[in-house]
Structure 1
Amino acid sequence: MTSLDTMTATPTDVPDPSHWPDLADYPRGLRADVQAAVVRRLLDAAAKRAGVNVVEGLDAYPLDGRPVLVIYRPEEFFARVGSDGLIGFGEAWQTGAWSSPDVVALLTALARHLPELVPPFLQRLRHAYVARPPVAHRNEVGNTRSNISAHYDLSNDLFASFLDPTMSYSSALFTTAPFDQQTLEQAQSRKIDRILNQARVGEGTRLLEIGTGWGELAIRAAQRGAEVLSVTLSAEQQHLARTMAHAAGVDDAVRIELCDYREVEGSYDAVVSVEMIEAVGHQYWPTYFATIDKLLVPGGRAVIQAITMPHDRMLATQSTWTWINKYIFPGGFLPSVQAMDEVVAEHTSLQRLEDLAFGLHYAETLRRWRERFIAKQERVMALGFDETFCRTWEFYLAYSEAGFAAGYLDVHQLTLQKEDA
């Protein structure tokens, strides 16, 4: 494979990630003081349930093996969390108001007890105090491009700093544990090959890929003899994916277009979509699956790799604006397997043939990304990103890793087949 150092493309205008006005100050006054006092009590109770030590200031903390939350600036921490809940919790990390000697262990402990950390009476009132997603983040055709660009057009060099040489930004699929006997590149290739095998991609297959990434799957499909249309809404991904396809000598068999999945036309023997449904929005899941159904020939297969959450939590949070939405993935929302099954049954002629779940593989994938990102922080900052951005992305990767390690999140490869005519 051609070296990524010769293929990455930096955007003309690197966004200024420090321009986050919400981090400039935190709430003060009587209301903030009352909210902060409530959060102090809730945190004490939640820490006991989750088996977490909470320490304020720079005092030594107990070395009893339990995860530790170290609060450096208590006034700011409790004011942010009291005012904005989990968004405030993440923002307090971004500004350095709290930290942990092992943030993944801490977040994993909290994630394992997430449904019970907040008292039931407050959970019933969540609709009255949690933030709602901005209308501008709804994934209508006119909005989706900007939502995707906000994350994926940051810089190809940024992603190359922590991804493996395949530039795969989705869960790898390792062989059986221990995972450390395989490289990430080997596990990503194994994931891609399984998807193509499940979709029965081979010589002459007309393949549609919804969500290009940086082109590795499309290239491997073309090397099998397939004719590939891959669609993306990221200009940066399109540029690098086309470069990689050319370097691999398959650009005559691969078309990579800037196109919304809802605007694709034609007939395809197979459709694959790797961790793209998370950017669709729950309002558009019927459209997403109906589009796949419409584009598939009778008997054709679709393979969807999706990050999922439990169905009850999905229902409870589908109108919630989260820290991840605000700072990482605007417009994003995770489905449950049940929700996808219900949409497929109601809106398509597709039948589920197989479901492979491998959430712990994602925890391992994220661990490697996070460690590499931290090791490459100087390189990231040389691209024009600041320390706040680096803290933000470290927290995003740790937060995600903890979700999978705790079993709160999962990842599935769903194999679907359209009914024969």
Structure 2
Amino acid sequence: MAVIDRLFARAFRRGLLTVVHPDGSRRTFGEPDPELPSATIRLSRGAAAAILRDPGLGLAEAFMDGRLTIEQGDIMGVLTLAMANSPWEANDTLLLPGPLRRSVDAIGHRLGRINMRRQAKRNVAHHYDLSDRLYDLFLDADRQYSCAYFSDPANSLEQAQADKKAHIAAKLAIEPGMRVLDIGCGWGGMALYLHAKTGADVTGITLSEEQLKVARRRAAEAGVSDHVRFELIDYRDVAGRFDRIVSVGMFEHVGPPNYRTFFARCRELMTPQGVMLIHTIGRLGKPGVTDRFTSKYIFPGGYIPALSEIARGYEGMRYFLTDVEVLRLHYGLTLQHWYDRTVAAREAIVDLYDERFYRMWTFYLAGACLSFRYGGMANYQLQFSRARDTLPITRDYMIEAERALRQDG
């Protein structure tokens, strides 16, 4: 039995994976499972060695380069088989790189996550300055590129993203005339929503020049540029004081060495009665290392924090942590929508870039989706205040405000 077959035999126990080797021989691994798909993959020469060296990156690059082709099913099905057989709670590290590779990766990760200011801008541009057309093809109309909120798993992506904005706005307890800072504002959807629903003046900041152009255009088209402003600036360089701060999907790019800088700067930017809401992907377990595929191809410099790392970032700064919510499966549902829309737009994406980019993007979305379904990822929403009496002492106000925002459309 080939070495790669021994790996597959240990890794695929539930569900059926058939592997066609370069010499034409076929092996099937696992047992039928009504809850899991079946898949058939064909390996060309060199693919097995790459997977053995580093299962995650090797599998990704073999798929991207066409050295691993899928004859039955799709990449979502293949990765579902792999991750469903090794869920986070089982503590099974079979498909992780070996100890030496993990040690080397850990050193590189510590060096790479320093996230200096110039590097931070380059890292953001790597991902967010891609073609506008790409994001239009798989995101909702408001371009919410972060975890949606599914009050019902059957809801559409558009409904879930609208509900996410209402969910966050309700926690911010914004009153008319307040000044709000949106750190990592994306294409401006949240900032525009907060102004429209609350009457607040909102400043959105980003390090993406492409996002800035779109956000400013949207504010101008809505006729609210005097109340919703967007700037190309690092959070460390923002001036002024704000009644509320919101940050959605940006904290993953801060880097642990900068967490205390981030929280200290935000505290300086908040008024004495200020409130802040951070929405971030988080690890369910202890601190870890960004996988090589993600750091190489998707989010260079990005890192998903453990809750303990976030806590070390703000402890001792006299913040009141006033609310914590864990969204376990919401991002998995969101990413499934993004994946399905990407697959439906295959021809358009290949025309924009090429087949290799399309395969990379589907691998990214499928792997991310399954990391919330079977892996060790969740979303955290953390609410902070500077004063102990700023917010009501029960969560009822959030529920009431969210209901009103949804009814308002």
TM-score range, shorter chain: 0.7 to 0.9
CA displacement at 1:129 relative to structure 2: 6.8
Q: CA deviation at 1:322?
A: 1.6
- What's the offset of the Cα at 1:390? 0.3
Partners of 1:52 and 1:109 within 8 A in 2: no
User: Could you say if the C-alpha distance between residues 39 and 418 of structure 1 is closer, same or farther in structure 2, counting changes exceeding 3 Å?
Assistant: farther
Distance in 2 (CA, whole Å) between partners of 1:379 and 1:196 is 35
Distance 1:380 1:225, change over 3 A: same
- Tell me the alpha carbon deviations over residues 238-272 of structure 1, each in whole angstroms, 9 at most, x when there is no partner: 00111111222211101100001111111110100
Matches within 5 A, 1:10-409: 40-48=5-13, 53-57=17-21, 59=26, 64-65=32-33, 66-68=36-38, 70-73=40-43, 75-98=45-68, 99=70, 101=73, 102-112=77-87, 115-118=91-94, 122-123=98-99, 126-128=102-104, 132-133=108-109, 138-175=114-151, 177=152, 179-180=153-154, 182-223=155-196, 224-312=198-286, 314-315=287-288, 317=289, 322-346=292-316, 348-383=317-352, 385-409=353-377
- SS at structure 2 position matched to 1:116: coil
1:110 Cα offset (Å): 4.6
Segments of 5+ residues of structure 2 without an aligned counterpart are 390-409
From the superposition, tell whether residues 322 and 60 of structure 1 become closer, same or farther in structure 2 (CA, over 3 Å): closer
Structure 1 counterpart of 2:284, which letter?
P
For residues 338 and 135 of structure 1, the distance between their equivalents in structure 2, rounded to whole angstroms, comes to: 20
Q: Which amino acid aligns with 1:330?
A: P
Q: Deviations along 1:22-70, whole A, 9 cap, x unmatched? A: xxxxxxxxxxxxxx9765534432334x666352347585882355564
Q: Deviation of residue 387 (structure 1)?
A: 0.4
Task: Check whether the contact 2:123–2:301 (CA below 8 A) recurs between aligned residues.
Answer: yes
Residue 419 of structure 1 aligns with which residue?
387
Q: Name the CA distance, whole Å, in 2 between partners of 1:129 and 1:141.
A: 23
Q: Distance in 1 between matches of 2:220 and 2:97?
A: 58
8 Å CA contact 2:54, 2:97 repeated in 1:
no
- Aligned residues of 2:15 and 2:32 also touching (Cα < 8 A): no
Name whichever of 368-377 and 63-72 sits farther off.
63-72
Q: TM-score, normalised by structure 2?
A: 0.84
RMSD: 2.8
Tell me the CA shift for residue 83 of structure 1.
3.2
- Counterpart-to-counterpart distance in 2, 1:183 and 1:341: 34
Taking the aligned partners of 1:129 and 1:377, their CA distance within structure 2 comes to 33
Rounded to whole Å, the distance in 1 between the matches of 2:54 and 2:12 is: 19
> Judging changes above 3 Å, is the alpha-carbon distance between structure 1 residues 38 and 140 closer, same or farther for their aligned structure 2 residues?
farther
Contact 2:236 2:262 survives alignment (8 Å):
yes
Looking at structure 2, the residues matched to 149 and 333 of structure 1 have their Cα atoms a distance apart, in angstroms, of 16
CA 1:303/1:252 → structure 2, altered by over 3 Å: closer, same or farther? same
Q: Structure 1 pair 130/336, CA: closer, same or farther in 2 (3 Å)?
A: closer
1:420/1:360 CA distance change after superposition, 3 Å = closer
Identity %: 32
- CA offsets 1:359-415 (integer angstroms, 9 cap, x no match): 2111111111110011112222332x1000000000100000001111521012111
How far is 1:81 from its partner?
2.1
Which AA in structure 2 matches 1:41?
R
Task: Give the conservation status (yes or no) of the 8 Å contact 1:170–1:275.
Answer: yes
Query: Following TM superposition, by how much is the alpha carbon of 1:96 offset from its aligned partner in structure 2, in angstroms?
Result: 2.9
Shift of 1:416: 1.0
Could you tell me which residue of structure 1 aligns to residue 394 of structure 2? none
- Structure 1 residue 349: deviation in Å? 2.0
- Secondary structure in structure 2 of the residue aligned to 1:297: strand
Counterpart of 2:108 in 1: which secondary structure?
A: coil
- The whole-number CA distance in structure 2 between the counterparts of 1:404 and 1:92 is 24
Partners of 1:403 and 1:145 lie apart in 2 by: 27
Distance 1:296 1:41, change over 3 A: same
Q: Residue type matched to 2:78 in 1?
A: V
Q: In 1, Cα distance between the equivalents of 2:356 and 2:110?
A: 23
C-alpha distance 386-338 of structure 1, shift in aligned 2 (>3 A): same
Secondary structure class of the residue paired with 1:404? helix
Unaligned residue ranges in structure 1 (runs of 5+):
1-35
Task: Tell me how far 1:202 sits from its aligned partner.
Answer: 2.7
CA distance in 1, matches of 2:186, 2:80: 30
Instruction: Give deviations 1:289-327, integer Å, cap 9, x for gaps.
Output: 221111111121100001011332x24x2xx55211100
Normalising by structure 1, what TM-score?
A: 0.82
Partner of 1:6: none
Distance 1:208 1:394 in 2: 33
Equivalent pairs, count: 376
The range that moved more, 58-67 or 232-241, is 58-67
Distance 1:236 1:82 in 2: 39
Of residues 217-226 and 323-332 in structure 1, the stretch that sits farther from structure 2 once superposed is 217-226
Structure 2 residue identity aligned to 1:219: L
